[in-house]
Amino acid sequence: MARRVPAVVPLGRDAPSRFLPWIFALMVYLAVLALTGVLILHAAVERWQRGEVDTLTVQLMPLDGESEAARLVKLQDLLGEVEGVSDVHVVAQSETIDLIERWLGAGNVPADLPLPRLIDVAIAPGFGLDAESLAFRLQASMPGVSVDDAKLWLDRLADLGRSLELLAIAVVVLIGLAAVATVIFTTRMGISIHRNVIELLHLIGARDSYVAAQFQRQAMLLGLRGGVLGIVFAVATLYGLRHVAGRLETPLAPDIPVAHWAWGLLVAVPVATALIAMVTARLTALRELAKMP
């Protein structure tokens, strides 16, 4: 008795119904990747921007005929007197060589290469101390000193990040529009393929809303199926990326968060595709049916 009522319009068997889920899967896949990109960039840009940079790097260039050790001590003393400097850490020369070896390769740093000494300086907030003012203070009493500021560089990075963010949002919107266009197209196709079934339904008194409901339900199912398929592939890809990113230990590289919002996205995307497909199919079907005699 509880036999399933079969679809009145045999939409499940036509070509559009077979290819629609795959188109949707592809769109959802691309949209989720783009969306993830947006979220990651957004978090990173915020972090980069928050920088009120709290560390500066002071470089002490070697000067002929002067003892590095003595200059280093003097520089530390000077730094100790500057208001706003909360901590001073002299980077060991071996660490500096390590850094350079990353570029030149291990063992390729000539022993006689004149290397600067690097001193990390932690800045306490509230003193308005930046690279420029610190350099001004130090250079007065010590030649061969320069101060590096990561801020300018981070600002440019943040600008780039924001542009990429907008681009990714545009991509998501375009994918959404493409999805809507696809549903409009397949619904029209379905109506013309099943024209005689629809004519019969009209003859036995089916209202347009009843016929449209057939297309609407089918589009929703296909949208849901495609959405789930797409999100499965997307999540697999993201986990893969995260794994790769996890092996590269750069503090500036943003992590790919797979936390709470990711679960929200997981549910929201197929539901959104299903809804978009459903509403689009309904409106398209109603408009097309109204043209029939």
Q: From the list 20, 58, 119, 201, which residue makes contact with another protein (rule: CB under 8 A)?
A: 201
Q: From the list 82, 206, 235, 266, which residue makes contact with another protein (rule: CB under 8 A)?
A: 206
Residues 8-27 close enough to bind another protein by CB under 8 A: 8, 10, 13
Binding mask 134-173 for another protein (x = CB under 8 A): ----------------------------------------
Distance set, CA 107 to CA 7, 100, 117, 163, 183 (Å): 73, 10, 19, 40, 61
Binding mask 261-290 for another protein (x = CB under 8 A): -----------------------------x
Angle between helix axes 208-246 and 151-193 (nearest 10 degrees) is 150
106 versus 290: smaller Cβ distance to another protein: 290
13 versus 260: smaller Cβ distance to another protein: 13
What is the rounded distance in angstroms from the CA atom of residue 235 to the CA atom of residue 241?
10
For residue 179, what is the DSSP state? H
Q: Which stretch binds another protein (CB under 8 A): 4-12, 220-228, 245-253, 273-281?
A: 4-12
State how beta strands 55-60 and 117-123 pair. Answer: antiparallel
Number of residues this chain uses to bind another protein (CB under 8 A): 20
Are 38 and 175 spatial neighbours (Cβ–Cβ below 8 Å)?
no
What is the rounded distance in angstroms from the CA atom of residue 158 to the CA atom of residue 142?
34
Q: Does 210 bind another protein (CB under 8 A)?
A: yes
What is the rounded distance in angstroms from the CA atom of residue 101 to the CA atom of residue 119?
19
Binding site for another protein (CB under 8 A): 1, 3, 5-6, 8, 10, 13, 197, 200-208, 210, 290, 293
